[in-house]
Structure 1
């Protein structure tokens, strides 16, 4: 079954039916959490046991199952324009436009101090800035400033990464994302000696991947879901697929023969490896992976292939280089590197990693060459002992050197493709770094807050006969607007945050568990008074 939530509308399922389904799922989930709590189990443990991870691999159909993002990708101007078009009366539209403007002003005012705190602390660690300021700091002061920066960057109370809806990439998500090959076909390794392994030691990220590079040498934040498509002949990848097919066939028969000798049935093992049935939900979408490895057929060798891979719309990587032995500063290399990328295919995510080693010939290719060499050597010696014609010996030598040349040329072409992708990544995919990335994060946090507040206020404002909505009804209607009006099937509305903002501003009233908005003119006056008080 296709997991794409937008297919519900195409298949004729009404918004009322979607709301009913969503409510029933929410109720069942709450009941399970309550039952788990009653048995002494934490709800998060239950969620993990049920496999509610945000990115999952579906082997049976070569697809990635992703949880819907809470980010609202629609530009603010387009959002306001479409919402205004449904409001009757020019005076009412003008009031709503003015209210939207005031909402943006007061939310930006609230974020001003947070922006200044974050950028001021980063100036101490900006590799392109005046890092010499740290030389007057003691070691404890440097450590305190470093911890303060990480807290402002990622802690929920600071509302930087959290409010701009950037999530830290987990080890499981990284494993699933890089479990296949898209355009990049070389193994990438990190030079651990070039990165500082103490930077994240005392932070919450150190537990992301115990013993691994992620969380100890670098941290990656992700946001948004997209799709990358490429068309071409991909002859090199096709040839690799053919060779892998024959190699895997040989290994398969060897394993079957070995298992037959051990007297163990292959069917018994295959039973134990049966995958669980795929779970579907309105909160998840599925994107099919179309790679050369799963779409190529021998009869289509000379035909074009259309490849497809899910992407993360935005990725931010944070790391610090290791201190070199020649560094003269008393605190060593303290510069914190922050890089921002856009539209990175999941399978090629290794391209954004820092301190990458230059690709080397894979170990499996060395083993294959050695095996082929010994087989050729044995054949040549046997031919010489039996006084066979030199043509046979020359033929074996030609075959061996041809294969060795093929391995070398394949590796060389992969290295050239690697360098091309790296250069293209730096030119097209990297958006900003350092201070500019932090300003982008704070601006995105403001825009997300504004858009959430506008959508929630609009839904409450449009209720007939002064009808009040509870939190669940409000979320359903906001999600319907995102899916039906803006065709944003990958977004999920964050209702708690939106209602909380409107309540704090005083432009929404809470009556028990129900919410009702104040008229736009009154709301504008309330916001004006609050802005004057803030100034």
Structure 2
């Protein structure tokens, strides 16, 4: 199976596959394989415990802003306390995303998305003034090719575009006073609330559809199609259906405006003709309006269908996805860094970084910007790697196990 290449920090492998790939290189003596597996399990357990604490920080500080909360708060927070919680939450959320190797999407990327044509042919409008804070993060950026239909399915084109594996959205709405002052309707959100969303498989050109207040707008070509159809249909109705009614109306208006001295007497037959003409005109207007509304409804369905299959989780539920992703990345980085220091001996940070990136490219055909500083800082903090004269040395497997085991016991000491 071909694995897509990536130029970001994300390692698109499961940690269990990384451990197995290390074992399969046969650089470890057979009697050391079980020791290495046990050490990996200790690393995974240690990181899992640390991120459980991070999860609790996120949940506690997000609780006052969660629009989907099903629990009641026993405390009323002051404005200053809410601001402090928002600040702590934003910092912790950013740290988890960074640990999960997400990259911040720049304002220029968002502007490009709004200017580029959507892949599912829907034009969206976003009112950015509704937000007091707005940050997008992405992971797994790569080119993707798809076949799209044009001209009602008569033509097919192949398009290549930038795609994101995962996109996390962090948006805080402005307060109630803003929406009341601008007389803006509030339907799908609470003023002042903070929403968190996680999506998958998102084209860069379609980032605008992830905004909670995006509105479907007709494209110029759609307006032209509907307008052209209405003009052509109106001309046919005018000539074939309303001719007799227009003659009666023209005579009446000419007499009333003094353009003609000839009085007009409307017979019952002419009243029938006039009434039927009005009925035909009303039916035509209703038909064209229905066509406009139905076309817009089709666009809204296309938008909702896309979001339905791309949405992974919302608000507090996103934390569990991201914490798990952060744990996976932290474990893979620590395990790979320790493994190569253990089997290949002491190395500098640059040498180890090159070693791991070259192995990933050779073994899995993937280019990854390995987070060497993050990996080494974890191993130094765990005490299973030491630094001497710019070189990093891995403790032997048994000593590393004892060190992590001792560290684990000390976590619960009062």
TM range (shorter): 0.7 to 0.9
CA contact under 8 A between 1:124 and 1:134: conserved in structure 2? no
**How far off is 1:90 after superposition?**
3.0
For residue 300 of structure 2, what is the aligned residue in structure 1?
419
User: Residues 168 and 222 of structure 1 are in contact (CA less than 8 Å); yes or no, is this contact kept in structure 2?
Assistant: yes
Q: Give the equivalent residue in structure 2 for 1:143.
A: 83
- Say if 2:119 and 2:206, in contact at 8 Å, map to a contact too: yes
Pick aligned residue for 2:166 from 314, 322, 346 = 314
Residue pairs, 1:66-215, within 5 angstroms: 68-87=7-26, 88-129=28-69, 133=73, 136-154=76-94, 159-191=95-127, 195=130, 197-198=131-132, 200=133
Give the direction of change, closer, same or farther, for the CA distance of 1:145–1:134 in structure 2 (3 Å limit): farther
Q: Distance in 1 between matches of 2:292 and 2:351?
A: 57
Gaps of 5+ in 1: 7-66, 201-217, 238-301, 374-406
Partner of 2:249: none
Residues matched between the structures, number: 342
C-alpha spacing 1:167/1:413, structure 2 compared with 1 (3 Å):
farther
> How far, CA to CA, are the matches of 2:114 and 2:333 in structure 1?
33
Aligned 8 A contact 1:314 1:342 in 2: yes
Asked if residue 473 in structure 1 is aligned to residue 412 in structure 2, the reply is no
CA distance in 2, matches of 1:233, 1:426: 20
TM-score (norm: length of structure 2): 0.73
Deviation at 1:99, TM superposition (A): 0.8
Q: How far off is 1:145 after superposition?
A: 1.8
Question: 1:127 offset after TM fit, Å?
Answer: 0.6
Q: Distance in 2 between matches of 1:305 and 1:361?
A: 20
Which residue does the alignment assign to 1:19? none
User: What's the secondary structure of 2:328's corresponding residue?
Assistant: helix
Cα offset for 1:130? Answer: 5.0
What RMSD in Å do the two structures reach over aligned CA positions? Answer: 3.4
One of 123, 144, 151 as aligned partner of 1:235: 151
Q: Give TM-score, length-normalised by structure 1.
A: 0.57
Report if the CA contact (8 A) 2:138-2:168 is conserved.
Answer: yes
Contact 2:123 2:216 in 1 (8 A): no
Match of 1:444 among 325, 330, 339: 325
Per-residue displacement from partner, 1:428-450 (whole Å, max 9, x unpaired)? 11001111101211221111111
The match for 1:348 is 206
- The Cα shift of 1:310 comes to 1.8
Q: Measure the CA separation in 2 of the matches of 1:365 and 1:333.
A: 34
Deviation at 1:451, TM superposition (A): 0.4
The equivalences for 1:476-491 within 5 A come to: 476-489=354-367, 491=368
SS at 2:376 equivalent? helix
**In structure 2, what is the Cα distance between the partners aligned to 1:433 and 1:233?**
31
Q: 8 Å contact 2:126–2:214 — kept in the other structure?
A: yes
The CA deviation at 1:414 is 6.8
SS at match of 1:83: helix
Of 478, 494, 506 in structure 1, the residue corresponding to residue 383 of structure 2 is 506
Q: Alignment partner of 1:136: what SS?
A: coil
Q: Distance in 2 between matches of 1:333 and 1:348?
A: 25
CA distance in 2, matches of 1:144, 1:420: 40
Give the SS at the match of 1:431: strand
Paired residues of 2:123 and 2:219 also in contact (CA < 8 A): no
- 1:231-310 superposed matches below 5 A: 231-236=147-152, 304-310=156-162
2: CA distance between counterparts of 1:411 and 1:486? 51
Q: CA 1:410–1:172 in 2, change beyond 3 Å: closer, same or farther?
A: farther
Contact 1:123 1:130 survives alignment (8 Å): no
Shift of 1:510: 1.3
- CA shift, 1:415, in A, is 3.8
Contact 1:187 1:359 in 2 (8 A): yes
Q: 1:411 to 1:343 in 2, by over 3 A?
A: farther
SS in 2 for 1:80: helix
Structure 1 distance, partners of 2:18, 2:347, is: 22
Greater Rg by CA = 2
Distance 2:219 2:56 in 1: 48
CA distance in 2, matches of 1:134, 1:170: 39
> For the Cα contact (< 8 Å) 1:453–1:502, is it kept in 2?
yes
Are 1:507 and 1:518, in contact at CA under 8 Å, matched by a contact in 2?
Answer: yes
Gaps of 5+ in 2: 232-287
- 4+ aligned runs moved over 6 Å, structure 1: 407-414
